[in-house]
Amino acid sequence: MSKKTVERPVFPFTGIVGQEEMKLSLILNVIDPKIGGVMIMGDRGTGKSTIVRALVDLLPPIDVVENDPYNSDPYDTELMSDDVLDKLKNNQEISVIQIKTPMIDLPLGATEDRVCGTIDIEKAISEGKKAFEPGLLAQANRGILYVDEVNLLDDHLVDVLLDSAASGWNTVEREGISICHPAKFILVGSGNPEEGELRPQLLDRFGMHAQIKTVKDPGLRVKIVQQRELFERNPKDFKLKYQAEQDKLMERIVNARKNLKEIEISYDLLEKISKVCSELNVDGLRGDMVTSRAAKALVAFENRFEVTPKDIFTIITLCLRHRLRKDPLESIDSGSKVQETFRNIFAI
């Protein structure tokens, strides 16, 4: 008798109360992965991992080459492993199946070999073959890689993750042998600020930064607790209750992905975004680019075709707050500083 894979019930995204900032950041990254991922900082027990896991349920299934460890895209050479590419060049037939968008959890104690994969040097020398054991980056290709407590992860490992997320490729080199495979994923990191911040150089490489605060309103807190209890009592019925909303949101995301290339942003708005970044002393141009991309993704999500100052205001704090230089003597919150500078330059 064949065993059925039992899936852990996932809390529906549309059933989550509050935390709008985090939900918006995740949705925009799913629409345009080039935004560069999300860093979520917040108190313990605020539902960070619940929201990330719920996001995967909103994503449509993907076509992959069967039995390929890298979730190779059968139609896009940029997202294919060398083996699949060779088969196509030799006109060999490849079998295509559909799978759920992968969501990979990176455990805190993971080693570099576990993350990047390992090369069997002995086999490579004795048999002349590149014997490679793929790691978590291979499994995360075309999906989401979630790192909880990313601020406790070794800086070098965070660097490796960010490099792969930015380039879409993972390269492993051992004893003069080199293996390269596609590793294009949305990187989502979460952490508790009490346990320390990431180094500014690493923090800057995350596209967006969402802050999660514990809900203070007693009515809302009760609602969150009730939602959780209802879900745990009967996950199937609870999910069914939100199915129509989930389908609607999934449709919006799919349409936004299709329309993204049509979205326009005027030169005047781009110039004002750059003025805000310059005024805030943001290093490099990553802040300018991410703000422009996120504004376009928001417009696509709302099924419009032109970016307005209001769209930029909605996302600019999420794109810039973590890029500001920290001044220990300054009492003003970095998010408030971004908004204040925006209002001055956009005259709103």
Question: What tens digit of pLDDT does each residue of 170-179 get?
Answer: 888 777 778 8
Can you give the pLDDT at residue 4?
42
Q: Which amino acid appears at position 310 of this protein? A: K
Instruction: Please pick, among 142, 205, 286, 321, the residue that the annotation labels catalytic.
Output: 286
Question: What tens digit of pLDDT does each residue of 90-130 get?
Answer: 888 888 899 999 999 888 888 888 888 887 766 656 665 66
Whether 286 is catalytic: yes
Q: Please tell me the distance from the alpha carbon of residue 131 to that of residue 294, in angstroms, as a whole number.
A: 40
Can you give the pLDDT at residue 257?
94
pLDDT higher than threshold 70 for residue 6? no
Give mean pLDDT, residues 209-224.
83
Query: Per the structure block, which two tokens stand in for 68?
Result: 């390929």
Give mean pLDDT, residues 54-68.
88
Q: To the nearest whole number, what is the mean pLDDT of the chain? A: 85
Residues whose CB is less than 8 angstroms from the CB of residue 46 and which lie 6 or more positions away in sequence, other chains included: 19, 212, 213, 214
pLDDT higher than threshold 90 for residue 5? no
Can you give the pLDDT at residue 224?
83
Give mean pLDDT, residues 161-175.
84
Alpha helices in 199-333 (DSSP H): 200-203, 218-233, 235-241, 243-259, 267-279, 286-301, 309-320
Query: Per the structure block, which two tokens stand in for 50?
Result: 């619940």
Residues whose CB is less than 8 angstroms from the CB of residue 76 and which lie 6 or more positions away in sequence, other chains included: none
Q: Which residue segments constitute the domains of the chain, with CATH numbers given?
A: 17-59+100-212 (3.40.50.300), 260-346 (1.10.8.80)
Residues whose CB is less than 8 angstroms from the CB of residue 19 and which lie 6 or more positions away in sequence, other chains included: 46, 47, 51, 212
pTM, two decimals, is: 0.87
Q: Please tell me the distance from the alpha carbon of residue 91 to that of residue 77, in angstroms, as a whole number.
A: 14
